[in-house]
Structure formats: structure tokens, C-alpha cells
Chains A and B, each alone.
Chain A
């Protein structure tokens, strides 16, 4: 009889925990969608070091000010690296503009930060001198489809290029013994090997990775943020809080 009661209590506790998790997620969703709940991001215990931001084409075209606001927030939150992605490469064309606005905005907010923008491979010309070495630094990569799936094709061509000059026998042996390490090395050689983001925030009309470099997001937590809008601090705080609170299980 005691065992029966124990089983009943256990299942009841399990059900309560499940309902609490569902309610938490429900509230996460409302807060992210409405931006109406304020959380102190400073209380976040586990922050991602690298964050990926994926925006759709319309957001990239019309939401530059919102993107500046987003980057300033992430810098203030202590994020070290941001991979900012739109499929068509629109943001790459506005890289210098974004950098100037971000630097100007951080000065106005008296946030002492150094920023380093790059277009995924090469850095942009610096528009501001490095202030001091002790200031926190955030690297912003501007990425597009050419840095994603197109890069894999480029790596595949490079693998073949590395085989040229060898005998046919050697080439066949080498091809058959290729490993993931070789593929990763090939991506490094073309400048595409960068740290994996722990967190991806997707803005826009669709919740899709939209061609973001797939080898970098195998274990990345993906949070759909809805449409890009102004005064986004609350939603971002909530997303960081949600990321921090999640238990990550690996080995699907």
C-alpha cells in the first residue's frame, strides 16, 4: 500500500513540475512577444559568450536602428561576440553605418566598449581608434548565405585542390580516409571557422535558421523572438534569462 502511495505522490509531483515548466515557457513566450516584462539581465547566472542573431530580409532593410539597439544591449550585457546574419547580405552593405551608430550610441550611454566589425572573413576599416586595451570588446561578424551553405561547397572544392599533385592511388586513399577534422580544417583555411554560438535569436516573420552556417549551430539554443521592433531590452533580457534557466541535455 505504501508503495502505491509513493508512486501516486511521485507521479503527482512529476505532473506539477511539468505544469510549472509549461507555464514558465508560456510566460516566456508572452514576455518575448510583448516585451512587457522586465528582468534584470545582471541576475542571469549563465550567459552565452557568442550569440547569433538571424534577421529576415525585411528586418535587415528596415530595421537598422533596431539592430543598433540590439547590439548595444548585448554589449552592455557582456556578450563577447555576435554573429549577425541575414541571408541576402544586406547588413554587410551597411556594416560601416552600423559600426558608427553602435559606437556613437555606446558613447551616449557612457558604456565604454570597443567594437570590432567584420564581414565574416575580413575586418571593416576601423572608423574609430581603439580607446584602451582594458575596455571590454565585442566582435560583430556580419554574415550571409555565402558564409553558410556556399562555404561548404567552397570547402569541398578546397579538399579536392589539396589532393592535386598526388598519385591517383594516394588521392583515392586520402578521399576514403577524410574525416570531419579535415572538413573543419578546410573551413578554417577559407576563414569560416569561428566559435559556435550558444544562443541564436531569430527575428522576423519566420522561425528558421535561413542558411546560417550549419556547422556552427549543432548545439545552439534557438529562440524565436518575433518581429524586430524598438525598445527591445525587455524581450532580450527575457531571452537571456530563458537561456540561463534551461537545462541542456546533449546526445539526441
Chain B
């Protein structure tokens, strides 16, 4: 059964989840890949294929947006071999004929970050992926690659300064709402909005320069599981925790 057929199979929401309180936008920090790979071997690496699976599951559940911190600006400081390894796997995700491609799942794929830091071939594939999936009405699958939250704020400030200089906007009109429109996450599609739920794996309980200006109202769920071991059951548990808090205390509106 190919991926399209799998996509179209009727799959009900897990019974534990309330369809009325699903998070509209989920963000993930898929942490723990290095530790998992050291324990299981490089050849067993599956961090990005797990990410693709979670994107498929999110789409099947009816979640509208999934934003993943796939590769941060800080990650470039890691050993060269490690960086090249991850970039190669990212390249596979955007290669149409590769088994790990995300381009055949019907999702709307978008990458945010400093694309100029990536190899040219990967930049080209990402541009093609944006064009290829532009008209999709399914899950918006956003990968933050070569991304840093504070760098994101800086680029927004640069663009605003440039717009003020050009007379597009007055300095006094710059407020939090205007700044938000220039952030990478919402700049290409305002309907994306800020995440309702952030899941971070591997036991780390920090935000690590991720979406710094977009997480004010985001419910944080931390799990001990290393990312490659994160499966649908763990995803259900995280969403249940989100729903339980919202049920007890009422949803917090932006």
C-alpha cells in the first residue's frame, strides 16, 4: 500500500482524544537524536522519519499545523560529520523519489530559517517543495531549519527598520502585532498562528532559542522519551495532557 493510499484510509481519532479540544497548532522540539544514535548506531538513525510519521498522524487527526525544530543555528557548531549527516537526511526528505520523502503525503510543506546557510542543492529542493505543495489543503508541515528564535526576532526588526526607512510604516505604529507579522512563522501565512502545544522530548525542559516570540500562550509538555522512540502512543499522551489542562481550567485564548 503506497503512502497516498495510507493517507486516504479512514482512521478515527484515538478514543482518548476529544475532537473538540484538539490543539490546532502543535510544535515539537525533537530532542535526543544524538543520544539515541550513540546507543543504537548511526545506521539506525530515524529521527526525521519519525518526524514524518508524526506529521502524517497529525494530519489524520485533523491537526492543522505541525511546526518542528528540525535543525537550529546552534546545531551548525556540532562536528562537521554530524552536520553533514543530518543535512543529507534532510535532503532525502525533499527528494521526490526517496523512500523518506515528505512530498507524497499530500501535506503543505514549508521551511523557515536562514536558507542561505544550507547547501545550494537543498535550498533548491526546498523551493521546489514549497511550489509543489503550495495548493495542498491538508496539514501545514513547517520545518524550522537553520533556525534560531532570537535570529528570527532580529530579521523581523531589520525588515521593520527598512520599512520605516522606506516610508511603508511609521515608527510609532510599530507594536507587538506588527512585529508578529514579520516573524518567519507567521510571515508567509498569518493563519498559521502561534502554537497551542509544544512537545519537547528527551527530558530537557527548556525552549532553547525556539520560536521565542511565538510561545507566550503555548502549553508546554515535556517527555522523557528520546525523539526516535517517540511514537503515536506518546503523542496521544501529550495531547491528552494538553486536553486535561484545558478541560480543568478552560482554554486560554490568545
Contact = CB atoms under 8 A, between A and B. Distances in A.
B252 A251 contact: no
Given A171-B165, A252-B29, A152 B153 contact: yes
A217 B150 CA distance: 11
Contacts of A163: 161, 165
Contacts of A18: 224
B207 A205 contact: no
Contact of A155 (B75, B157, B204, B224): B157
Contacts of B75: 251-252
Interface residues of A, number: 47
B204 A249 contact: yes
A215 B149 CA distance: 9
B171 A157 contact: yes
A121 interface: no
B154 interface: yes
A14 B226 CA distance: 13
A215 to B, nearest CB: 6
A208 B219 contact: yes
A50 interface: no
A196 B245 CA distance: 28
A153 B171 CA distance: 10
A163 B156 CA distance: 16
A178 B151 CA distance: 11
Contacts of B29: 252
A153 B222 CA distance: 30
A221 interface: yes
A157 B169 CA distance: 11
B216 A211 contact: yes
A14 B39 CA distance: 9
B43 to A, nearest CB: 15
B141 interface: no
A180 B151 contact: yes
Contacts of A150: 175-176
A156 interface: yes
A82 B172 CA distance: 32
A207 interface: yes
A208 B206 contact: no
Nearest to B77: A251
A156 B219 CA distance: 27
Contact of A21 (B39, B203, B210, B222): B203
Nearest to A146: B176
Given A152-B213, A208-B252, A159 B224 contact: no
A126 interface: no
A168 interface: yes
A18 B202 CA distance: 11
A77 interface: no
Given A149-B176, A153-B175, A207-B220, A214 B149 contact: yes
A160 B161 contact: yes
B165 A172 contact: yes
A166 to B, nearest CB: 10
A223 B165 CA distance: 43
A25 interface: yes
Contacts of B95: none
Interface string A17-49: 010011001000000000000000000000000
Nearest to B208: A252
Interface string B157-189: 110111011000001101110110000000000
Contacts of A83: none
Contacts of A21: 203, 224
The 4 A-B pairs with the shortest beta carbon distances in the complex, nearest first, are: A205-B249, A214-B212, A252-B208, A211-B216
Given A183-B153, A210-B216, A214-B213, 20 more contacts: A153-B174, A153-B178, A156-B156, A157-B172, A159-B161, A160-B174, A163-B161, A175-B158, A175-B161, A175-B165, A207-B219, A208-B252, A214-B216, A218-B209, A218-B212, A221-B206, A222-B207, A223-B205, A251-B75, A252-B69
Interface of B: 29, 31, 39, 69, 72, 74-75, 77-78, 149-151, 153-154, 156-158, 160-162, 164-165, 171-172, 174-176, 178-179, 203-210, 212-213, 215-222, 224, 245, 248-250, 252
